[in-house]
Chains A and B, each alone.
Chain A
Amino acid sequence: TQLLEQSPQFLSIQEGENLTVYCNSSSVFSSLQWYRQEPGEGPVLLVTVVTGGEVKKLKRLTFQFGDARKDSSLHITAAQPGDTGLYLCAGADTGNQFYFGTGTSLTVIP
């Protein structure tokens, strides 16, 4: 079983603060995705990273794939209440099977 550990598990911050979520594994992945999920809904794809060391920016969100393609991070600058949700990372193996992380529940307080 390829496990993806996310940290922290829970995060509660004030609007305007910065934060980083980590996604770590001992396995190498072909690609890694980040999703955000709101209660009662399915996860929504935010970004896909494929190349080791790759950095992608999506407005205030910055995603990085580790050089060895085993870990990733999500950094949010100046968090807003609309960023509240469950953040999930998912790694794909060479057979295109996806393994999801344990999730980080983020609450941004106005």
Chain B
Amino acid sequence: KAGVTQTPRYLIKTRGQQVTLSCSPISGHRSVSWYQQTPGQGLQFLFEYFSETQRNKGNFPGRFSGRQFSNSRSEMNVSTLELGDSALYLCASSLGGSSYEQYFGPGTRLTVT
């Protein structure tokens, strides 16, 4: 079974631009969560989507948004990029429901200059 895939793997953007990251979960998984990982803050939860609905949301500004499609693929958008948005963005999928196990993709390394 194929794992979680994320595209692109690397991205360089300029401050003020916007960016869209994509995540394809493991086949059959209906929950997709997004995390931001930085050396200073560690892994921080952004939001979780389950069956196209946002089920949980972390403490991030409204510039960070996401959506999930009917095939469970998910996208994350960051508008008006700031230098502090430079990070590894990780997507994790799980069956959802009462499943406790998440499986992560390789991440997208975003650099904002």
Residues of A within 8 A of B (CB): 1, 30-31, 33, 35, 40-45, 48, 50, 88, 90, 92, 95-103
| Contact present for B42 and A103 (CB under 8 Å) | yes
CB-defined contacts of B48 to chain A, threshold 8 Å: 96-97
CB-defined contacts of B44 to chain A, threshold 8 Å: 100
B107 at the interface (CB under 8 A from A): yes
Residues of B within 8 A of A (CB): 4, 31, 33, 35, 42-45, 48, 55-56, 59, 88, 90, 92, 96, 98-107, 109
Can you sample 12 A-B contacts with CB below 8 Å? A33-B101, A35-B104, A41-B107, A42-B90, A42-B105, A44-B104, A90-B102, A96-B31, A96-B48, A96-B55, A98-B102, A103-B43
The B interface, classified by DSSP as helix, strand, loop or mixed, is: strand
CB-defined contacts of A40 to chain B, threshold 8 Å: 88, 106-107, 109
Task: Please tell me which one of the listed residues A30, A42, A97, A99 contacts residue B104 in the complex, with CB atoms under 8 A apart.
Answer: A42
| Contact present for A42 and B4 (CB under 8 Å) | yes
Nearest-CB distance from A3 to chain B (Å)? Answer: 11
| Contact present for A45 and B103 (CB under 8 Å) | yes
CB-defined contacts of A99 to chain B, threshold 8 Å: 45
Task: Please tell me which one of the listed residues B42, B88, B100, B109 contacts residue A100 in the complex, with CB atoms under 8 A apart.
Answer: B42
CB-defined contacts of B43 to chain A, threshold 8 Å: 43, 88, 90, 100, 103
| Contact present for A48 and B100 (CB under 8 Å) | yes
Nearest-CB distance from A109 to chain B (Å)? Answer: 22
For B39, give the chain A residue with the smallest CB separation: A103
Nearest-CB distance from A11 to chain B (Å)? Answer: 16
CB-defined contacts of A31 to chain B, threshold 8 Å: 100
For A91, give the chain B residue with the smallest CB separation: B100
CB-defined contacts of B96 to chain A, threshold 8 Å: 96
Task: Please tell me which one of the listed residues B45, B98, B106, B109 contacts residue A97 in the complex, with CB atoms under 8 A apart.
Answer: B45
Most buried by B among A33, A42, A48: A42
For B90, give the chain A residue with the smallest CB separation: A42
Per CB-CB distance, the 4 closest pairs between chain A and chain B, nearest first, are: A42-B104, A100-B43, A31-B100, A97-B56
CB-defined contacts of A101 to chain B, threshold 8 Å: 42
